[in-house]
Amino acid sequence: MNKFFIFWVSLAVILNFSCSKSDVSNSSSNNSNSSSNNNGDNNGGGGEGNNNTQRNTFYVSSSIGDDNSDGSQSSPWKSLSKISSKEFSPGDTVFFKKGDSFTGHFAIKGSGSDDKPIVFTTYGSGNKPILTGSGSSISGGDYQEAIYINNYDNMVFDGLEIQNNRTKSRNNVEESDSFGIYVHNTGDEIMNNFEFRNLTFKNIYAITQVDPSNQQAFNQFEVAGLRFFTDWGKSKINNVLVEDNFFTDLQRFGVHVKHSNANNGSDNRHTDFVFRNNEFKEIGGTCILPSRVRNVLIENNIFNKPGAKTNSRMIGRGSAVWNWYSVNTVIQRNQAIGIRGILDSHGVHVDHSNVRTFIQYNYMEDCEGGFVEILGGNETAVYRFNISVNDGWRDNPNWKNSNHTIWLNDKIGDNNGYKSTNSFIYNNTIVINRSNNPYETAIDIKGDNTRIFNNIFYSINGSSIGKKQVNMKDDNLKMTNNLFFGKIDNRFIGNDENPIDKSPLFYNEDLGNAKGFQLLKESEAINSGISYSGNFSHPAISTGDSKIFANVESIPTVDFFGNKLDANSTPNIGACNAKNGEIAN
């Protein structure tokens, strides 16, 4: 698969933490529980002078190190237990030797500051150093995580490989738990400013396994490469950047962000999380799950085969991304390919009780569950300018409508009656064209004030959109100016006030990528959409709510391919707004 980004990290840039603060919002709050040692503790440090005036450096090598040495580059320390005993100060840097493996538990002590984070990175040549919390040399059983951060903050992680394949029980550690890096807030102060760059997360498994059809057990199974969690009623985690990382061979989550509860009834969600230019390949569940987070940006990532079962211990179920009780989530310009699972398993889905979720400019292909999934209790969930190819082919004999082109339900858990309001599905290109194994999808809508307009619905080669089931329950449904070509169920088309029954005339759908779904200049989809005004105005992203949205448009001005959207002209139908057959690369 071609990547649309290049992994690169310069240590000089990493060490200058303030330069990257344009990506994530700043906060002047510092963790009062994060005790920083500013008393000139240079014992074992590679730096010189007082900690208040000069950054200290510490080196660790499992192959040539000695815990009784001074921790300099020429005489590095050896073990994770040694560096766990060191309390770090703002501006400190810890270097792990490339090619080495470190087995045990790294419990970080000490916080950086806004302008002087603590940096954990590498030196030497060779493969990334591996840090793992599991292994035969560990006494007392495998650890819950490889790296643990509890109530400390202002840190940068760069260039490490994180593993934790647990096989041995340990006292006070649940056998269903395993994490790579665990960022944990158990206090009343905000934890601020974390960056994770150029890391590899792999081979992270709990001792136990879970049946993905057991919903209760599935919900409670939270194995993750990178975990952020706040205890009940405690404070939040703020300002996180996860960029240019590789996740693979994980039992369930790539990244799991979770807040257990609001604090004293107030909005105490985590804030300002950015996930950019990461690749997730063959992981057992969902790649990114933000739960109770305000302001999330997920962009330019590759989600390749979430819900995989390449390892029998993988849970084998998960949409690439889904959010839960979150506010202001923007998911854009990602690829979601080959998603699998007996439930959910759409490219990107909107779970319960979110406010303002925008899913735009994404390419989704071969997602077993389907294209659109919006569950109960959501306000303003938006799918726009996406391309969906051969999504929604799952066939479950015990669940007739197990696969969907569009699915809005009104359930929260097992309870009905929580209709999602003001859902927008517009200017998407939805294609079913595989030449073998034709299939039928379902359309299920239980919502209020749902708007479906300017989409291309295209189903050929024996497949059909809506033939399996059409169930439309929305007294305020507004559906118009959609193009239907091929086998589309009339029960669905009949809801459209101005349907177009013409071929979209794609450029070359056999290319097998997004480029092929641009429009030839003779296409009837050109200038056939309804204008973006009144009931069909663009819902706006609240870009002013956080600096992480500084480069995000509040109202879209381009289509999927970068063609201009002119507010004064009639838009095309579908994700391509080219007017004269222009083909973008």
d(CA 533, CA 502): 25
- Which SS3 state, helix, strand or coil, does residue 164 take? strand
Exposure of 572 in the CB half-sphere (CA atoms within 13 A): 30
Q: Which residue from 529, 365, 522 is spatially nearest to 432, judged by alpha carbons?
A: 365
499-548, pLDDT tens digit by residue?
Answer: 999 999 999 999 999 999 999 999 999 999 999 999 999 999 999 999 99
Please say if the pLDDT value at position 355 is more than 90: yes
Pairing of strands 483-486, 456-459: parallel
CA 348 distance to own-chain centroid: 9
Contacts of residue 459, defined as CB under 8 A and 6 or more positions apart, other chains included, come to 431, 432, 433, 465, 485, 486, 487, 488
**Sequence letter at residue 444:** D
Contact 227, 182 (CB under 8 A): yes
Q: Which residue from 403, 384, 417 is spatially nearest to 339, judged by alpha carbons?
A: 403
Backbone angles phi, psi at 145, to 5 degrees: -150, 165
H or E stretch at 132 = strand 130-132
Contact 335, 303 (CB under 8 A): yes
Work out the pLDDT band at 34, boundaries 50, 70, 90.
very low
For the chain, the average pLDDT equals: 91
Backbone angles phi, psi at 490, to 5 degrees: -65, -25
The two most distant CA atoms of the chain are separated, in Å, by 78
Q: What is the mean pLDDT of residues 437-457?
A: 97
* Token duo for residue 267: 């909005």
Strand partners, 118: 155
Cα torsion for 471, 476, 482, 488, to the nearest 10°?
Answer: 10
Please say if the pLDDT value at position 23 is more than 80: no
Contact 124, 76 (CB under 8 A): no
CA 213 distance to own-chain centroid: 23
Q: Check residue 340 and give its pLDDT.
A: 97
Percent of the chain residues topping a pLDDT of 70: 90
459-495, pLDDT tens digit by residue?
Answer: 999 999 999 999 999 999 999 999 999 999 999 999 9
Distances (CA, A) of 528 to 129, 508, 569, 579: 56, 21, 11, 11
DSSP symbol at 541: P
Work out the pLDDT band at 423, boundaries 50, 70, 90.
very high
Contact 86, 109 (CB under 8 A): yes
Q: What is the mean pLDDT of residues 305-331?
A: 96
Q: How many CB atoms lie within 10 A of CB 132?
A: 26
Contact 272, 239 (CB under 8 A): yes
* Token duo for residue 418: 């929580």
Contact 355, 325 (CB under 8 A): no
Which residue's structure tokens are 């708007």? 451
Instruction: Look up the pTM and report it.
Output: 0.91
Cα torsion for 119, 122, 128, 132, to the nearest 10°?
Answer: -60
Please say if the pLDDT value at position 21 is more than 50: no
Backbone angles phi, psi at 198, to 5 degrees: 55, 35
Which residue's structure tokens are 């449904």? 477
DSSP symbol at 59: E
Q: How would DSSP label each residue in 167-207?
A: -S--TTS-TT--EEEEEEE-SSS-EEEEEEES-EEEEEE-S
Q: Which residue from 173, 271, 187 is spatially nearest to 231, judged by alpha carbons?
A: 187
111-159, pLDDT tens digit by residue?
Answer: 999 999 999 999 999 999 999 999 999 999 999 999 999 999 999 999 9
Q: Check residue 268 and give its pLDDT.
A: 85
Pairing of strands 101-103, 130-132: parallel
Q: How many residues does the chain have?
A: 585
- Which SS3 state, helix, strand or coil, does residue 300 take? coil
Rounded to 5°, the CA angle 156-146-77 comes to 75
Q: What is the mean pLDDT of residues 382-400?
A: 94
* Token duo for residue 480: 């118009």
d(CA 425, CA 452): 5
d(CA 58, CA 94): 5
